[in-house]
Amino acid sequence: MQTLTPIRRTVEERAVQPDLRDVFLCHAWDDRQGAAKELHDLLVSHGVSVWFSEKDVGLGVPLMRAIDKGLANSRIGLVLVTPALLRRLPQEGIADKELSALLARDQLVPIVHNTTYEALREVSPLLGSRRGLSTAEEPMAELAAKLAELVQV
């Protein structure tokens, strides 16, 4: 995975920390039962431990604090960039806060799905400048396999 080498270095550096998830999955609320769940399930099937709000935030648990802990306890972050996420980011909601935290560290891989990098750069030039993966080039299952390879330590 030469295209994601700095991320690989981050994975290796953080691997010595106990109780880390392999990835934090940032997504739009609208995608939680569709593309985000599909990506989550594919990653898990490859043995990747995924922090996913749908599975990791229990009833009665403060959402923002759970997300904060999830971000702190994940080796890398994946941002599932969909039309729904692109609509939500300008509203500065939860996904925007997650993205801000992930952009602050060198541990972020965008996954562009049903949209383009050009559309992403219009909404988030910083995220759009990151090298990532696109389902326009490869099916979600192949991307999940590549991501699993990336986080194996």
pLDDT tens by residue, 89-103: 999 899 999 999 999
Q: In this model, does residue 2 exceed pLDDT 60?
A: no
Q: Which residues contact 6 (CB under 8 A, 6 or more apart)?
A: 106
Instruction: Determine whether 143 is exposed, middle or buried from the number of CB atoms within 10 Å of its CB (0-12, 13-18, 19+).
Output: buried
Nearest to 78 by CA among 1, 151, 14, 3: 151
43: its two tokens = 């990653």
Side chain identity, residue 99 = L
85: its two tokens = 């996420």
Question: pLDDT for 21-79, tens place per residue?
Answer: 999 999 999 999 999 999 999 999 999 999 999 999 988 889 999 999 999 999 999 99
Q: Do the bridges between strand 108-112 and strand 21-26 make them parallel or antiparallel, or are there none, so unpaired?
A: unpaired
Q: In this model, does residue 14 exceed pLDDT 60?
A: no
pLDDT at 106 (0 to 100): 76
CATH C-level class of 2-13+22-151: alpha beta
Q: In this model, does residue 153 exceed pLDDT 90?
A: no
User: Residue ranges of the domains in the chain?
Assistant: 2-13+22-151
Q: What's the rounded Cα separation, in Å, for the pair 44 and 27?
A: 16
pTM of the model: 0.86
Instruction: Determine whether 27 is exposed, middle or buried from the number of CB atoms within 10 Å of its CB (0-12, 13-18, 19+).
Output: buried
